[in-house]
């Protein structure tokens, strides 16, 4: 027997599960039965597609038994699935390979620790066993191999591993129940949990128990114990059942079995297509976004079946990446069972199913959008992925543009693009938007002063990906998207208001030159602003340069070698500060005032000051003279 130490992340995970994460202890049984079903799925596929496995006498089933004696209570879950060898046991039960899990663990705090569906999303529900057991023993023999192995752990620091003997292929997990788990060594408790969480497992789940019968009468009456095995679940492919026979409750129960989520889904979409293509899809939208939604190594939520035979649950191409939050099943009657990953990516049948599925989902979301309250709850969870789709999916842009929402300078909450257009002024040609990372700051930004004065609505684009989405999409119908963060943003409106007087160049030029000299290479240029009404200054990006937010986003993505693009400082000559500065060009106070104009504009953009100490010193000097 060899001893192994748990990976650090496993220790953290075990501590979370045992002490705070699972508010419903019975979920451990759902997790173990779900894992057993996955193991049966994988072996079933191999027995149908690979010659060396076709000779296996495959009898797919899950057996659950329990003991209740003086030596203690145990609960055993046994399957006839693909099994594990020594390497698999170490990899699957001793480590957590997914890189996003460490970040996930680090972010768990407060109420998040009570969310019972988080662990299932990372495929590590096996560890929930240690909520109810002092010791867990796993005996497994992998299909096609002779050796079996025994894995045992108390869930504290590590595990022991040794060779053993097992006649059949598959895995047997025995939990030595502790005081917290003793209630689960009971026939009626186990039956209730299995019917609640595992009724829709596609393989038969049997519960083995002793039943007492009595013979004779009076003093001759004897108790005879009989060992019985009863199938607990329905064991059919739920998604193939006629939709007319299913109720919302049935879909909710299947979703919880299928997804390892403890909550009901926000919505479901069930399609059974016959004709040119014969396929079934069943998709769910979780109430809450998966914890790994924005991880590069997110776990796909859609499983592919062919004629009810499981093929894969690790193919990210089954749906476009912006729909990665969807959980569900695609079952095709037209694909070959031995379809490879390479064939999947180029298969016309699957491509057609994918296209039809995307349209069906988006049209379902469109219908949901008519219910403001429900759609808002949905959009708060999945708005960003839908924006990704709006940018990426040209084929479905007409549907996606109806689904995306933005905050606005004129309305509370969110607005659709169509509603924005309906409120546009009669002669307005463009859709204006301002980008940044703070809604409150953007609503008070000097960048939108001119638009507010002219009663023109501006979209408040405070999601960092808006910097990519809106310029990438470029227009909505006949209307071009225009960023007010750029130096040329007001040109169109300026031309429409020819009565506005241009400043006298002879008077202004020396003043601008002096400001440029003070700021040096901190700015690309200094210009007189046509957009400012109340503020003295604002920083904008040149027409073809990336904005502050775009530069920060690119650095966050690891592009540290991108050129340092300088902003343009726009000044409001009608502001009292600028009027006074014109008369003090030769004073040292002019330099301080100029630097403060630049720094306050920098702060309003949500950017960090280059030297906060200098800023405070300058501010103190100005305050001293004004008091």
Query: Alpha-carbon Rg of the chain, whole angstroms?
Result: 32
Let me know if residue 383 belongs to a domain. no
Instruction: Provide the pLDDT for residue 267.
Output: 96
- Considering all CA atoms of the chain, what is the largest pairwise distance in Å, rounded to the nearest integer? 123
Based on the fold, state whether residues 213 and 250 are members of the same structural domain. no
Under 8 Å CB-to-CB from 298, ≥6 apart: which residues?
100, 290, 292, 324
Mean pLDDT of 539-561: 73
Based on the fold, state whether residues 172 and 98 are members of the same structural domain. yes
Q: Which two tokens stand for residue 529?
A: 């602003």
Based on the fold, state whether residues 77 and 32 are members of the same structural domain. yes
Question: Domain total for the chain?
Answer: 3
Does residue 289 contact residue 282 with C-beta atoms inside 8 Å?
A: no
Based on the fold, state whether residues 188 and 274 are members of the same structural domain. no
- Lowest-confidence pick of 81-95, 102-116, 268-282, 560-574: 102-116
Q: Tell me how far apart the alpha carbons of residues 58 and 182 are, in angstroms, rounded to a whole number.
A: 33
Based on the fold, state whether residues 361 and 285 are members of the same structural domain. yes
Its sign, for the CA torsion 12, 16, 18, 24, is negative
Alpha carbons within 13 angstroms on the beta-carbon side of residue 168 total: 12
Instruction: Provide the pLDDT for residue 331.
Output: 94
Based on the fold, state whether residues 103 and 205 are members of the same structural domain. yes
Based on the fold, state whether residues 346 and 213 are members of the same structural domain. no
With bands split at pLDDT 50, 70 and 90, how would you rate the model's confidence at 212? confident
Q: Tell me how far apart the alpha carbons of residues 39 and 612 are, in angstroms, rounded to a whole number.
A: 59
Mean pLDDT of 384-390: 97
Q: 229 φ, ψ to 5°?
A: -130, 120
Check whether 139 has a pLDDT greater than 50: yes
> What CATH number does residue 288 fall under?
3.30.230.80
- Lowest-confidence pick of 6-15, 261-270, 369-378: 6-15
Let me know if residue 360 belongs to a domain. yes
pLDDT tens by residue, 174-211: 999 998 888 898 899 999 988 887 888 889 999 999 88
pTM of the model: 0.79
Q: Tell me how far apart the alpha carbons of residues 208 and 227 are, in angstroms, rounded to a whole number.
A: 7
Let me know if residue 593 belongs to a domain. yes
Does residue 9 contact residue 123 with C-beta atoms inside 8 Å?
A: no
Does residue 166 contact residue 220 with C-beta atoms inside 8 Å?
A: no
Containing 373, the helix (H) or strand (E) segment is helix 372-392
Based on the fold, state whether residues 66 and 108 are members of the same structural domain. yes
> What CATH number does residue 510 fall under?
1.20.120.790
Q: At what angle do helices 100-107 and 8-16 cross, to 10 degrees?
A: 40
Based on the fold, state whether residues 142 and 84 are members of the same structural domain. yes
Residue range of the domain that includes 35: 2-231
Residue showing tokens 């591993």: 161
Let me know if residue 621 belongs to a domain. yes
User: Residues 280, 282, 286, CA angle at the centre, nearest 5°?
Assistant: 165
Q: What percent of the chain has pLDDT over 90?
A: 52
Based on the fold, state whether residues 361 and 226 are members of the same structural domain. no
pLDDT tens by residue, 74-118: 999 999 999 999 999 998 888 765 545 555 556 554 444 444 445
Q: Tell me how far apart the alpha carbons of residues 239 and 484 are, in angstroms, rounded to a whole number.
A: 50
Let me know if residue 342 belongs to a domain. yes
Let me know if residue 434 belongs to a domain. no
Q: How far is CA 499 from the centre of its chain?
A: 51
Let me know if residue 475 belongs to a domain. no
Q: Which residue, of 205, 231, 257, is where some domain finishes?
A: 231
Under 8 Å CB-to-CB from 217, ≥6 apart: which residues?
none
Based on the fold, state whether residues 138 and 283 are members of the same structural domain. no
Q: Which residue, of 350, 368, 386, is where some domain finishes?
A: 368
Q: Which residue, of 231, 251, 270, is where some domain finishes?
A: 231
pLDDT tens by residue, 607-626: 888 889 989 998 898 888 87
User: Do the strands 430-435 and 458-461 form a parallel or antiparallel pair, or are they unpaired?
Assistant: parallel
Check whether 24 has a pLDDT greater than 90: no
Based on the fold, state whether residues 43 and 97 are members of the same structural domain. yes
Mean pLDDT of 258-268: 88
> What CATH number does residue 135 fall under?
3.30.565.10
Q: Tell me how far apart the alpha carbons of residues 231 and 211 are, in angstroms, rounded to a whole number.
A: 15
Does residue 516 contact residue 570 with C-beta atoms inside 8 Å?
A: no
The string of DSSP codes covering 37-53 is HHHHHHHHHHHHH-HHH
Let me know if residue 567 belongs to a domain. yes
Instruction: Provide the pLDDT for residue 297.
Output: 84
Q: Which two tokens stand for residue 233?
A: 């679940």
Closest C-alpha to 169, from 52, 76, 39: 39
Length of the chain: 627
Q: Which two tokens stand for residue 468?
A: 């990519």
Instruction: Provide the pLDDT for residue 262.
Output: 79
Q: Tell me how far apart the alpha carbons of residues 579 and 310 are, in angstroms, rounded to a whole number.
A: 75
């Amino acid at each position: 027997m060899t001893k192994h130490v748990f990976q650090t992340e496993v220790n953290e995970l075990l501590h979370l599960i045992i002490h705070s994460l699972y508010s419903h202890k019975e979920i451990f049984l759902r997790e173990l039965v779900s894992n057993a079903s996955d193991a049966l799925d994988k072996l079933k596929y191999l027995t149908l597609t690979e010659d060396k496995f076709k000779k296996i006498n495959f009898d797919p089933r899950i057996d659950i038994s329990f003991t209740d004696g003086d030596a203690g209570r145990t609960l055993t879950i046994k399957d006839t699935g693909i099994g594990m060898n020594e390497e698999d046991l170490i990899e699957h039960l001793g480590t957590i390979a997914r890189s996003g899990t460490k970040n996930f663990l680090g972010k768990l705090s407060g109420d998040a620790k009570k969310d019972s569906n988080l662990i299932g999303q990372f495929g590590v529900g096996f560890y929930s066993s240690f909520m109810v057991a002092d010791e867990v023993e796993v005996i497994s023999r992998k299909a096609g191999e002779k050796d079996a192995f025994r894995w045992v752990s108390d869930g504290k620091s590590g595990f022991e591993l040794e060779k053993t003997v097992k006649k059949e292929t598959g895995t047997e997990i025995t939990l030595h129940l502790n005081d917290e788990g003793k209630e689960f060594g009971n026939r009626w408790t186990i039956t209730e949990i299995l019917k609640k969480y595992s009724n829709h497992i596609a393989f038969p789940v049997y519960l083995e128990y002793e039943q007492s019968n009595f013979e004779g009468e009076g003093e001759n009456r004897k108790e005879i114990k009989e060992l019985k095995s009863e199938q607990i679940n329905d064991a059919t492919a739920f998604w193939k059942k006629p939709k007319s026979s299913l109720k919302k409750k049935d879909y909710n129960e299947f979703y919880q079995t299928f997804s390892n989520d403890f909550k009901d889904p926000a919505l479901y979409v069930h399609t059974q297509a016959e004709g040119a293509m014969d396929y079934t899809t069943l998709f769910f939208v979780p109430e809450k976004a998966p914890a790994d939604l924005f991880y590069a190594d997110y776990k796909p939520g859609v499983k592919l079946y062919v004629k009810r035979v499981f093929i894969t649950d690790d193919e990210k191409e089954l749906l476009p990446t912006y729909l990665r939050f969807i959980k569900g099943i695609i079952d095709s009657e037209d694909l070959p069972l031995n379809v490879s990953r390479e064939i999947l990516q180029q298969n016309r049948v699957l491509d057609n199913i994918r296209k039809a599925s995307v349209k069906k989902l988006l049209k379902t979301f469109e219908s949901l959008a008519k219910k403001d309250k429900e759609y808002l709850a949905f959009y708060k969870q999945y708005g960003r992925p839908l924006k990704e789709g709006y940018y990426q999916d040209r084929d479905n842009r007409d549907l996606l543009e109806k689904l995306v929402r933005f905050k606005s300078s004129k309305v509370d909450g969110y607005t659709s693009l169509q509603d924005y257009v309906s409120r546009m002024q009669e002669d307005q040609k463009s859709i204006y938007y301002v980008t940044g990372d703070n809604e409150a700051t953007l609503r008070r930004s000097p960048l939108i002063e001119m638009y507010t004065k002219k009663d023109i609505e501006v979209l408040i684009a405070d999601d960092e990906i808006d910097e990519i989405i809106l310029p990438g999409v470029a227009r909505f119908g006949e209307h071009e998207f225009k960023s007010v963060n750029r130096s040329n943003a007001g040109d169109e409106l300026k031309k429409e208001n020819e009565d506005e007087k241009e400043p006298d160049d002879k008077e202004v030029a020396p003043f601008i030159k002096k400001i440029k000299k003070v700021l040096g290479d901190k700015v690309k240029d200094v210009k007189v602003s046509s957009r400012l009404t109340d503020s003295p200054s604002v920083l904008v990006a040149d027409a073809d340069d990336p904005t502050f937010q775009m530069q920060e986003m690119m650095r966050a993505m690891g592009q540290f070698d991108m050129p340092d693009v300088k902003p343009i400082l726009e000044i409001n000559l009608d502001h009292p500060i600028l009027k006074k500065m014109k008369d003090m060009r030769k004073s040292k106070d002019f330099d301080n005032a100029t630097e403060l104009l630049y720094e306050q504009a920098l702060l309003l953009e949500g950017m960090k000051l280059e030297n906060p100490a200098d800023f405070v010193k300058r501010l103190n000097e100005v305050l001293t003279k004004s008091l």
